[in-house]
A = this chain, B = another copy of it.
Amino acid sequence: MEKILASLITIGDELLIGQTIDTNSAWMAQQLNDAGIWVQRRVAVGDEKAAIVRALEEEGADSHIVLITGGLGPTADDITKPVLCEFFGGKLVLDEAALENVKTIFARHNVPMPERNREQAMVPDVATVLQNGRGTAPGMWFEKNGKIYVSMPGVPHEMKGMMERDVIPALRQRFATPALLHRTLITSGQGESFVADRLKDFETNLPPHIKLAYLPSYGLLKLRLTTVAPDRAVAEAEINEAFEAMKTVLADIRVADRDEPMGVIVGELLKTKGLTLATAESCTGGKIAGMITAVPGSSAYFKGSVVSYANETKTQVLGVQAATLEQYGAVSEETVREMAAGALKVLNTDCVVAVSGIMGPDGGSPEKPVGTVWIAAGGRNGIRSMRYQFRYDRARNTEMTCVAALNELRKWLEA
C-alpha cells in the first residue's frame, strides 16, 4: 500500500513578517493524519506570484496532495485566486451558488454587499467549487497530472468547516490509505535524558516501523509512539502493546495516557469523582481558570475563580490575613494556603488550586527571584503546598505555573 503524501502551502505576507502565528497547519496536519495521510512538508510564502507558483510546482512534484490556505480575501493584496487560475490554465467565471452565499452573509449582517465581494464569487472554470459555509471566499479543488490541489481561505474557522465537510471526506474516498497511528504518554518530574536512559531496552526492542519521539512541553515530557501499517487492527494492536510496555516502565512519572491539555485531564478526574473546583489565582491572572473552562461542559464541576492580583483582593475577597501578607509576603507558602482555604469557603467547592508567584521581568529579590511560585492544591480534608522555581520569561513562567498547578491538582485527585 502506497504511503499517501501531502504538502501544506500557506500564503500571506503576514506569515513572513511574524504578524500571524500559523495555527492552521497544525490542525490540518492532525486531520490528514487521522485520514492516514502523511504531511511531508509545510511551506509558507508571501503574496507574490513567483513564490506561489514555485511552491505549487515543487510541492505538486513531490506530494499526492497539496493543501493551500490564504490569500483569498476581497482586497488587492490577495492574489492567490488569479495565480491559481493561470497555473491551472482556466478562466474566471461566476459561480451562482458562491454569489448566493456572499449575498446571504451580507443580508444576515444587514449591510449592502460591496461590489468587490461579487468578485469573490468568480472562480476558475477548471476548479470544483467548495462552498464556504462560514465566510465569503469559496474554496477550489484542482487536479493536474494526477495530483490534487485544494485552495481554502486562511481564516481558521472557515478553513476548518471546509476541511471537515468536503476535503477530508473526499480524500478518504479517493485514497486507500494505510493506518497511521500515534499514541502519546505524558510524564512529569524527569528530564528527557533520564527518561531516555530508562527506555533504552524498550527502544531497542521496538519493531522498526514504530517510532518513539520525545517532546518536552512546559515542564511535562510527552512520549509519542507512531506506527504506519496497512491493516488498522494490526497497527492498533501493535502500538497499544508497545504503549502499555512503555507505560509500565514509566509508571511512577505518568501523568496521562493521551495528548490532551491539562484542563481536559483534570476535568475528567473531577467529573468521574463528582467533585467541584475553584481556583484562587494571583500571578497566573485567571489563566488556570481559562484552561479549565476551555473544555466544553466544564460548568459541571467548575464553580469559579477569584483572581486576587492585588493584596487588597486577597484580604477582602479571599480572607487572607493582613498579618500573613505582612509577615511572609504575597508569594509565600502561608499566603497561598490561606488563598486556597479562602476560595474553598467563598466559592463553596470540594477542591481548590491556588497560586502566587513572581512572573517577571520585575518584582524579584535575592530570597524570591523571578520565577518563584507557591502552589496549593487540596480540599476540605487538607491542602498540600509546594514551591516551584522557574527560570524563564514572563509568558513562559506563567504557562509553566498553570501546567504545574493543574498537575499538582491532578496528583492530589489521584492520590
Contact = CB atoms under 8 A, between A and B. Distances in A.
B14 A215 contact: yes
B111 A77 contact: no
Interface string A11-22: 001111111111
Q: How many copies does the complex hold?
A: 2
A330 B112 CA distance: 34
Contact of A286 (B58, B114, B156, B286): B286
B193 A259 contact: no
Interface stretch (A171-179, A242-250, A304-312): A304-312
Interface in A94-144: 109, 111, 114, 116-117, 134
B211 A77 contact: yes
Contacts of A27: 18
Given A285-B292, A286-B287, A294-B285, A304 B299 contact: no
A44 B8 CA distance: 10
B33 A26 contact: no
A40 B45 contact: yes
A134 to B, nearest CB: 8
A224 B17 CA distance: 11
A240 interface: no
Nearest to A222: B19
Interface in A302-329: 302-310, 312-313, 316-317
Interface residues of A, number: 108
A18 B37 CA distance: 12
A194 B114 contact: yes
A293 interface: yes
Contacts of A29: 15-18
Given A17-B30, A33-B18, A77-B212, A290 B286 contact: yes
A281 interface: yes
Contacts of A38: 16
Interface string A62-96: 00000000000111110000000000000000000
A236 interface: no
Interface stretch (A267-275, A390-398, A405-413): A390-398
A95 to B, nearest CB: 18
Interface string A163-195: 000000000000000000010100000011110
A14 B224 contact: yes
A20 B215 contact: yes
Contacts of A415: none
A364 interface: no
Given A19-B224, A296-B394, 14 more contacts: A15-B42, A16-B40, A19-B26, A41-B43, A42-B43, A43-B43, A75-B213, A116-B197, A156-B396, A284-B290, A294-B395, A299-B309, A303-B309, A307-B307
19 contacts: A13-B211, A14-B224, A15-B42, A17-B39, A17-B182, A18-B39, A19-B26, A20-B26, A41-B44, A74-B196, A75-B213, A111-B191, A114-B196, A281-B286, A283-B293, A303-B309, A304-B306, A304-B308, A304-B317
Interface of A: 13-23, 25-31, 33, 38-47, 51, 58, 73-77, 109, 111, 114, 116-117, 134, 155-157, 160, 182, 184, 191-194, 196-197, 203, 211-216, 222, 224, 226, 259, 279, 281, 283-290, 292-294, 296-299, 302-310, 312-313, 316-317, 346-348, 360-362, 391-396, 398
